[in-house]
Chain A
Amino acid sequence: MSFLQILLQLAGGVGYTIMVTVACSLTGVVVGLGVAMLSRIGPPWLRGLLGAFTFIFRAVPVLVLLFIVFFGLPNAGLRVPPLVAMMLSLGVIAGAYLAEVFRGAFDSVDASEVLAAEAMGLSRFQILRLIEIPQMLRFAVPGMINEFTTVLKYSPFAYTVGIPDVMKEAMSLSATTLRGVEIYLAVGIIYFLIYKLLVTGVWALEKRTRIPGLTG
């Protein structure tokens, strides 16, 4: 079995790896946006609560939360499908980190522009939607890329809950061929390529929506 054949064999799991990464990243963006928005416009007590949420979910290891959700919740009568378990663990943790990224990016929005929008008669929610979020998302691009990369790197945990991703393919291949070194080297190369693709893709998207004078 040549190295190329190993690569081709592993490629079967790439779709699942990408699916897990995208699903968890999207979960993270939704959770992060929700938390950052609510702590920007919500009452102080809610801000405190959301602060506790981000602290806790940034302190618990992904693997531990994944096991709580996938292997633990059935004890409480709640069965969660593997992909959803990944989203509720890796995705929500990414959301806690992204909430911090978004909070920092919100702080980069010029206060005088928010004041001008208020003076214009826009409502608080309109200001958020029309002024703050479009600018904030552009400032947040580098932080989002970091976080999406992290999600990709933790996505192999999916094998522990039975998702047939690249890692799972590698483990079964390694068990039958006893060529672990080459196989895991190939796995590393595949992840690195996906990583490069991801980073290039996000920057390309950023470039298409770039505005002079507004970068993260």
Chain B
Amino acid sequence: MTLLSVQDLKLEYDGRIILDGVSFDLAQGELKVIMGPSGSGKSTLLRCLNRLATPTGGRVVFEGRDVLGPGVDERALRQRIGFVFQNFALYRHLTALQNVTLALRHLRRMPAAEADERALRQLARMDMQAHAHKYPAQLSGGQKQRVAIARALAMDPAVLFFDEPTSALDPLMSREVVNILHQLRDERVSMLCVTHDLYLARAAGGRVMFLDEGRIHAEGEVDELFGPNADPRVRAFFHQELRQAQTAQPIDAAQPMDQAQPAGPSGPAGLAER
């Protein structure tokens, strides 16, 4: 059953075309990956789908309803979509637990005890219950990511969006993110994940689409897209990413770096800059 259907989505900004007719479907329980270089419009695409950005054309149907129409309750729509941001975007003044309960308390109007219990269950699902009372500044990158996912899951969303879930993590943590994606897929959570991380796109194991310059140029199972008959644009992207990955980080060549969001001083991008 189709959960989300995107048809010919377009977005122009200041006369520049950011999205140039994107179409795809996401089925209930499916994990779909959209891969593409920095600046290809991945984040913008996700933001159009929950109306954080306003497309200039096309149609988005989510749970059988037109999302872009005038009478749509934006805030109700957003509560149905769990969003995990690139840099986690945890609220720094709230503990891990409070980050998860915030929406339950203030959007669901749930009593404190019930919200806490439910949030702790989500944190346990992400193996984070031991850190429930820590503040974001006291958590590692991987731990923040788990809290961010627990926060998104707490509202029982129909779908989870991931924006570059590995770009702020080191290679070991990237592998853990893949494990989490697999765990959630096995639990039949619908997920849409955008990334420019080749390793993630390949290891996630869902259907992969390749987005470049606001347009989808190829789509297929991992083997097709990563195989010998791949689209030339896709191959060019691979070459570029792999070359960067090799110069930046000889140990794990599968982990490309994100130029737009350099990792901290200990991260691979930090080393490359020296």
Binding site for B on A (CB under 8 A): 110, 112-113, 115-123, 126, 130-131, 134-135, 138, 211-214
Per-residue CB contact flags for chain B residues 50-92 toward chain A (1 = under 8 Å, else 0) read 1010000000000000000000001111110101010101111
* Bound form: Cα–Cα A212–B91 in Å: 12
CB < 8 Å A-B pair total = 71
**Could you show 25 A-B contacts with beta carbons less than 8 Å apart?**
A112-B85, A115-B52, A115-B89, A116-B85, A116-B91, A117-B91, A118-B52, A120-B78, A120-B79, A120-B102, A121-B78, A122-B75, A122-B103, A126-B106, A130-B106, A134-B93, A135-B91, A135-B92, A211-B135, A211-B137, A213-B92, A213-B135, A213-B136, A214-B92, A214-B93
* Bound form: Cα–Cα A130–B90 in Å: 13
Q: Which 8 A-B pairs have the closest CB atoms?
A: A213-B137, A116-B89, A121-B78, A121-B79, A119-B83, A121-B75, A112-B89, A212-B137
* Bound form: Cα–Cα A134–B107 in Å: 18
Q: Does B138 contact A (CB under 8 A)?
A: yes
Q: Contacts A121-B75, A213-B138; is A113 near B83 (CB within 8 Å)? A: no
Question: What's the minimum C-beta distance from A127 to chain B, rounded to whole angstroms?
Answer: 10
Q: Which residue of A lies closest to B154 (CB)?
A: A120
Please name 4 further chain A to chain B contacts, defined as beta carbons within 8 Å, in addition to the given A122-B75, A134-B93, sorted by A numbering. A113-B90, A122-B103, A122-B107, A135-B93
Main secondary structure of the interface of A (DSSP, over half): helix
Which residues on A sit within 8 Å (CB–CB) of B75?
121-123
Which residues on A sit within 8 Å (CB–CB) of B102?
120, 130
Q: Contacts A130-B106, A212-B135, A213-B135; is A121 near B89 (CB within 8 Å)? A: no
Which residues on B sit within 8 Å (CB–CB) of A122?
75, 103, 106-107
Q: Contacts A119-B83, A120-B83; is A113 near B135 (CB within 8 Å)? A: no
Question: What's the minimum C-beta distance from A128 to chain B, rounded to whole angstroms?
Answer: 12
